[in-house]
Amino acid sequence: MAFFEIGLLLVGGGAFRNHATDLGWLDGLAIILFIAGSWLNTGSEVQRNWWKQDAANKGKCYTGGLFRHSMHINYFGDVVLFSGWSLLTSNLWTLLLPFAMALMFAFLHIPALDAYLAGRYGHAFNEYAKQTKRLIPYVW
């Protein structure tokens, strides 16, 4: 992750162009995306951690908090926050990074994790999966 963040900082800082770029509305959108994505990723993980600390929840499938909106809201947060980072670079080619992340989540990480969770939590996870979108809240 540090490789990506340092790379985006270099690109955004002008390491590959010979002129400064002015701040604009796209930068404001980028900052909003970065903050929202960070909140989705970190906030969801904090909520799950608090829930897991309660001994009464041991061995149960967590479906609350931000995870009620998307089964992998933390991954969605990563895509959103890296979209913000990428937009801040003023180089639209860097949007390939969050796009590639979304594809890897959709076709590699999520199917493998869902298979694991289905095996671990059985019926509870399968019911959760039937009623909750996988990555993008209320969409997919």
For the chain, domain boundaries:
33-131
Say what the pLDDT of residue 18 is: 62
Residues sharing a CB contact under 8 Å with residue 95, sequence separation 6 or more, in sequence order:
83, 86, 87
Q: What is the mean pLDDT of the chain?
A: 89
| Residue 111 predicted with pLDDT over 90 | yes
Q: Give the tens place of pLDDT for each residue, 51-106.
A: 999 999 999 999 999 999 999 999 999 999 999 988 888 778 889 999 999 999 99
Say what the pLDDT of residue 93 is: 85
pTM of structure:
0.85
